[in-house]
Every structure is written in structure tokens, then in C-alpha cells.
Amino acid sequence: MAKQSGLGWTTLSVDDAAGSAQVIKNDVTSLDFATPRAVQDVTGVDKSANERLLLLADFSITLNIVFNPAANQSHDVFKTVPSTSVARTTTLTVGGKTLANEVLYTDYPLSRSATGELTAKVPGVLADGTIPTWA
């Protein structure tokens, strides 16, 4: 497969509070996600450069969405973030590669700009200790 842009996502779905996957890719205008690894500094005084060990893996995501109150769209998915404590399967597929994680969304912060846009930047973090793995 040749190099690709980030255009034309195949899948961007997030479970609603009941555990049903909802396709919300049309409501997402952009997103940031990361799969960082923690490190432990184990540099001894005998070293002249840092020495580290890889530790736990993690996942975080922020979905930038346009408010959509239609059934099974982004507002339906995220409106329960403040009132429920459930992990939500979040599936990203682009270029035939899929990254799916159990995510705890921690806020649903709606913002209305001076020009009228109603948007949200919805943050989420890894929920279940499963190493984020592209398939």
C-alpha cells in the first residue's frame, strides 16, 4: 500500500452509554489521538547520557465535533458522559488499519463561539489496561 493522506476515514465510531456503536465520523471535524509509553529513568551516576526503561502503554483521544442532536449522532453519544461511568469502545479505521480501544470520556464541553458555531472538544483516556494495538 502506498502512502496515504488522512482523508476518507472508513470508521470512526464510539459506543453510546448502552454499549451500541454509533458512527459519528460525519460530526467529527478533526481529532487528536496518541499511544504514548511511560518511561522510567534508570540512569546511574556512571552514565553520561540518559538510560530508560519502557513502562506502561496508554491511549488518549480528543474528538472535535459539531453539535448534532439527531438520533444516534454525536450528542446522543456524549450527552451521558456527565451522568454515566461506562467505558466506550472507540474504533478508528483509516487506510485499512484499525485502532480500537475501550475509552473513558471525561467531559462533554460544548462551546458556542461569537460567530455561532456550537462545537465540543471531547477528551478520552484508555479505560481497561489493554495495550493499544493497530490491526
pLDDT in tens, 43-86: 999 999 999 999 999 999 999 999 999 999 999 999 999 999 99
What would the pLDDT profile of 109-118 be if each residue is shown by its tens digit?
A: 999 999 999 9
What pLDDT, on the 0 to 100 scale, is given for residue 135? 94
Task: Judge whether residue 103 has pLDDT over 90.
Answer: yes
Looking at residue 2, its pLDDT comes to 83
120 to 28, 100, 101: CA distances (angstroms): 10, 22, 21
Q: Given this model, what pLDDT does residue 1 score? A: 61
As a whole number, the mean pLDDT across the chain is 96
Residue reference for cell 493499544 = 132
DSSP string, 19-88: S-EEE-TTTEEEEEEE--EEEEE---TT-SS--EEEEEE--EEEEEEE---STTSHHHHHTTTTT----E
Q: Is the pTM of this model over 0.85?
A: yes
User: What gap in Å lies between CA 81 and CA 75, rounded to an integer?
Assistant: 10
High-pLDDT (> 90) share of the chain, %: 93
Across-strand partners of 53? 40
pLDDT tens readout for residues 22-33? 999 999 999 999
